[in-house]
Structure formats: C-alpha cells, structure tokens
C-alpha cells in the first residue's frame, strides 16, 4: 500500500504572486447605491456568494445584485487566511468554488494554465491531484481563481460594498434594507440568497469579568508580531496550529492549551464521506435513521477541531526540543492578565494569550425576525429541497447555515456547490415562470 506523506514545505507556498490580469470589461460609471429592484439579491460575496452568482449566471438569471461588507469577492475569507499567514487551503483541488453540472475552467485546470508560476512543490501537488491522491491548493492560486471566476460571471458589475441590516419578506417580494457609503438603500427583490458565512466564536462569559484582560486577543484580530517571547494559544484546530507555527517561526516559545486529551490530525475539515452523496444522505431527514438528534450528534462529532497532517512534523519536533509545551486535557477556568488558569488552579502564563475557539454559522437572525429564522439549536428552519426559509420562501441560505440539511461539509467550498445547485434551480424556474 502506498502511504501519502504530505510535504511540510507546502506551508511556505508563496503569496501575492503577479497573476496576469483578466480581460474584464471596465465597470461602467454607475450610481453609488444599488438599484431599487432586482430579481435576486445575494448577501455576502464569499466563496458561497460567488458560487451562487456563477450558478445564476449559467441558468440565465442576470438581474442580480450582490451586497458585501468588503465589496470584493472572497475578501473576508482571504483576509482571515492572510491574518493567520496560511499559505495553502485545507481542501483539495477537486473542491473548487463553482457550479455543479456546468463546465467552467476548474481550479486544477486553472493552476495548470499557470504552471510556470508555480514552485516544484506546488506542481507536485497538481500531479498528485491528477493521479487521484490528496492534494493541497496554494492560497495564491485560489485567490487568483476567485478573481477569474468573478470576472467570468460578471460579478464586479453586480457587486456593491454595503451592509444589509434587515429583510422584510411578503408573498411577492423581499425588501432588503441596508447602507452603503453611509447612505441607506432599499431593494425590492424577488429572491434573496443569504451567504453570510460564520462569525468568530467568542470566549464564554465566565472566563473573565469586566472587560477583556490586557494581552488577550482573538485569532482574527491584528497583533504586534514582535512583542511576545512566549505565547499561550488556546484551541485545538487548524487556526491554533497556524498561530503556533507563526510564533515558533519567529523564535517565540508556545504554551498550547487543548481541552481534548490529544490533538487530532486529519486531511480535511470533516470526514471525506460528507463531501459525497452517501455522506449527505446521513442528513436526509426523510430517512428514518436520521432524526434531528442523530444529526445534531453527528454535527457535534464532525465539527471537532482537527489539524492538517502537514503540521505534525513541525509540532512534534518543537515539542521534543521544548519550544512548544502542550497542555492536553486542559479545561480553561479563567483568563486574566497573567495568563490562562486551568481547572484545578494551574496557571499557564506567557506574554500574551491568543484564543482560537472556532466559528459559529450566521443563521440569518438579526436580518430576519426570530420567528422566521425559526432557529432550533442555532440552526435555521429551511425547506430541505430548496434551502429556502420555511417561513420566508423567497429567502434562501447557502453555506454554513445549511449544515443540518446538507451535512457538515456545507460550510466548505465543495458544499457551497451542492447548496448552489438547489437554490439556482429553484430561482431559475420561478423567474422563468414570470418572464
């Protein structure tokens, strides 16, 4: 049996190479605010929003407005990744942002077109992918591919920077209210697709009283690189692993606090079967074996934090030579200016504490009334066939919010394609009926 041994140097893949510009038509001068009506409003231009926009383009729905806080495709995703100095995606080449059933230039084809720009290690990954083995995608390639997909499906012409504040849905229309460049706007949309992604999970309220202690930051906040000789990092997932990697890289020591009895190394975010139809079937509520409680239990198990295999040699070596101390099975009791206090009173101290506690899906609450979101255990009440909110059939969800319908891979790039196919098909049929 051949055993694939991943190359730790993948973690050094270069960023911000000079990719050739795409022959995009210039975005014409246009009003600063989005138009007052549209067939579809997509909220969020991350990988999920991009996939939905591309799918709608393919099925001929062109009267589309996209609103995103950053006003650029995949900006929050890439911003988070760059904050961690993450150089490769966890997902393989087969997981590309796009549309199920339509042959665009796929991520691997795109990378091959830019062969001369890639390093030998990156080229080897493409060969691995072609041979059907696990492969790893450079963030730089993914970034350039998102720009390519965006231009190809005319996203720049349809994208406005802004924040959506509320959705008011009736039988015929959804009124989307928001602000852009400090001006309020309203769009009467026939359909809305929420592609809101996930928010950072904050520390439990019991960890500190009053304000957050000095020297404590979350993984997605900027920190000064040079001010810590010893860092305390709390969390068991890939984000924590990147923070550890970066600290070790610049010569700092690390105390790693893990609630679990041991760290777990795994290729992908969730078990690979959840990217396939048979895994998704385990979330099909029509089957008697998959009650809500069964699905909740599966989600709890599958959302467990894991680290990519590539990190194992680095972390093991650092632990052996004492640059990294791992506190396994350590439950945090409190966090203060001195460090992290564990249950039992032991104090783990350092010059600063970084918290990497995961993310929580945005389920539409805050935009839609609570009774419309219908959240159960935090998950929105969606029609399983169309991914529309049952209480607001003109409003759809894609991305992490759909995990209880499509399984845990719904939050990942490949899961967006599955969600997108259902949503675009439903919208195209409805728009076609009224054309």
Ligand X SMILES: Cc1cc2nc3c(=O)[nH]c(=O)nc-3n(C[C@H](O)[C@H](O)[C@H](O)COP(=O)(O)OP(=O)(O)OC[C@H]3O[C@@H](n4cnc5c(N)ncnc54)[C@H](O)[C@@H]3O)c2cc1C
Positions in the binding site for ligand X (CB under 6 A): 43-49, 67-70, 75-77, 80-81, 84, 86, 89-91, 95, 163-164, 195-198, 239, 359, 399-400, 411-413
Q: CB of residue 123 vs ligand X: minimum separation in angstroms?
A: 20
- CB of 352 or CB of 411, closer to ligand X: 411
Q: CB of residue 334 vs ligand X: minimum separation in angstroms?
A: 26
Q: CB of residue 36 vs ligand X: minimum separation in angstroms?
A: 18
* Contacts of 112 by beta carbon, 8 Å cutoff, 6+ apart: 126
Q: CB of residue 15 vs ligand X: minimum separation in angstroms?
A: 14
- CB of 45 or CB of 252, closer to ligand X: 45
Q: 429 near 189, Cβ under 8 Å? A: no
Phi, psi of 12 (to 5 degrees): -105, 10
3-state SS string for 181-213: CCEEEEEEEEEEEECCCEEECCCCHHHCCCCCC
* Contacts of 239 by beta carbon, 8 Å cutoff, 6+ apart: 84, 219, 356, 358
- CB of 34 or CB of 44, closer to ligand X: 44
- CB of 95 or CB of 191, closer to ligand X: 95
Q: H or E element: which one contains 385?
A: none
- CB of 213 or CB of 358, closer to ligand X: 358
- CB of 374 or CB of 408, closer to ligand X: 408
390: left (phi over 0), alpha (psi -120 to 50) or beta: alpha
Q: Is the sign of the CA dihedral 429, 363, 170, 191 positive or negative?
A: negative
Look at residue 330 and give its three-state secondary structure. coil
- CB of 159 or CB of 298, closer to ligand X: 159
Chain centroid to CA 336: how far? 30
The tokens for 302 are 């599958």
Q: CB of residue 110 vs ligand X: minimum separation in angstroms?
A: 16
Which residue is nearest to ligand X, using beta carbons?
Answer: 46
- DSSP-derived secondary structure for 69-120: SSSSTTHHHHHHHHHTT--B-SS-TT--SS-TT--PPPHHHHHHHTGGGS-H
Q: CB of residue 275 vs ligand X: minimum separation in angstroms?
A: 9
- CB of 90 or CB of 348, closer to ligand X: 90
Neighbours of 229 (CB within 10 A): 13
Q: CB of residue 345 vs ligand X: minimum separation in angstroms?
A: 33
Q: CB of residue 285 vs ligand X: minimum separation in angstroms?
A: 22
Burial level of 266, CB count in 10 A (0-12/13-18/19+)? Answer: middle
């Amino acid at each position: 049996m051949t055993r694939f041994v991943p190359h730790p140097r993948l973690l050094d893949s270069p960023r911000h190479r000079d990719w050739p510009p795409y022959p995009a038509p210039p975005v014409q001068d246009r009003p600063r605010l989005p138009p007052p009506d549209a067939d579809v409003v997509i909220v969020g231009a991350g990988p999920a929003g991009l996939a939905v926009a591309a799918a709608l383009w393919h099925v001929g729905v062109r009267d589309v407005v996209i609103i995103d806080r950053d006003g650029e495709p995949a900006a929050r995703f890439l911003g988070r990744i760059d904050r961690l100095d993450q150089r490769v995606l966890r997902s393989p080449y087969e997981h590309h942002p796009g549309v199920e059933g339509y042959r665009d230039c796929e991520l691997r084809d795109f990378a091959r077109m830019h062969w001369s720009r890639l390093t030998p290690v990156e080229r080897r990954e493409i060969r691995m992918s072609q041979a059907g083995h696990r492969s790893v995608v450079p963030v730089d390639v993914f970034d350039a591919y998102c720009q390519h997909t965006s231009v190809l499906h005319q996203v720049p012409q349809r994208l406005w920077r802004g924040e959506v504040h509320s959705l008011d849905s009736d039988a015929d229309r959804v009124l989307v209210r928001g602000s852009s460049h400090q001006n309020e706007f309203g769009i009467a949309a026939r359909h809305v697709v929420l592609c809101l992604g996930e928010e950072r999970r904050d520390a439990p309220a019991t960890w500190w009283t009053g304000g957050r202690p000095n020297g404590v930051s979350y993984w997605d906040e900027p920190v000064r690189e040079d001010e810590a000789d010893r860092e305390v990092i709390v969390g068991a997932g890939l984000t924590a692993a990147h923070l550890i990697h970066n600290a070790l890289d610049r010569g700092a020591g690390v105390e790693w606090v893990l609630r679990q009895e041991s760290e777990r190394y795994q290729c992908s975010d969730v078990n690979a079967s959840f990217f396939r139809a048979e895994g998704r079937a385990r979330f099909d509520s029509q089957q008697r074996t998959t009650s809500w409680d069964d699905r909740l239990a599966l989600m709890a198990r599958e959302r467990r934090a894991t680290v990519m295999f590539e990190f194992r040699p680095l972390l093991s070596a650092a632990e052996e030579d004492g640059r990294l101390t791992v506190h396994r099975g350590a439950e945090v009791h409190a966090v203060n200016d001195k460090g992290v206090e564990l249950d039992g009173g032991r104090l783990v101290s350092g010059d600063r504490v970084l918290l990497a506690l995961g993310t929580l899906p945005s389920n539409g609450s805050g935009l839609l009334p609570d009774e419309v979101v219908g959240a159960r255990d935090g998950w929105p009440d969606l029609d399983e066939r169309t991914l529309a909110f049952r209480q607001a059939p003109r409003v759809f969800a894609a991305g992490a919010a759909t995990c209880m319908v499509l399984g845990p891979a719904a939050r990942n790039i490949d899961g967006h394609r599955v969600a997108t196919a259902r949503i675009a098909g439903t919208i195209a049929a409805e728009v076609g009926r009224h054309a």
